[in-house]
Amino acid sequence: MLPDWETICSIWPLLLSIAILWARLEVALTRARDQSKLNEREIGKLERKVEEQAASVQHRAVQLGRIEESLLGITRTLERLDRRMTGP
């Protein structure tokens, strides 16, 4: 059995308020989901940049190690030449 017209009229503003509130919540949730997806993409980009920088730092560390080894070899060679030139 359906409610009478007076009952419908008395609860209609409440139902309308609930519907408006529900719609606003849905809009807010949709915006939050969109922002979350955007943040996720940005975090992915930042993670890739950090990985690239880490690889670059590692490559430069290897290069620096090679330079240090070369300089050490040059230093030893110069020391040997110095000993020969100033030696007995």
Measured CA to CA, the distance from residue 20 to residue 28 in angstroms comes to: 12
For the chain, domain boundaries: 46-88
Residue 88: the pLDDT is 66
Q: Rg (Cα) of the chain, in Å, rounded?
A: 37
Measured CA to CA, the distance from residue 3 to residue 10 in angstroms comes to: 11
State whether residue 2 is helix, strand or coil: coil
| AA letter at 66 | R
pTM of the model: 0.56
- Diameter of the chain by CA atoms? 124
Can you list the residues of the chain whose pLDDT is less than 70?
88
Residue 19: the pLDDT is 95
Measured CA to CA, the distance from residue 26 to residue 6 in angstroms comes to: 31
CA distances (Å), origin 46, targets 13, 31, 57, 58, 66: 49, 22, 16, 18, 30
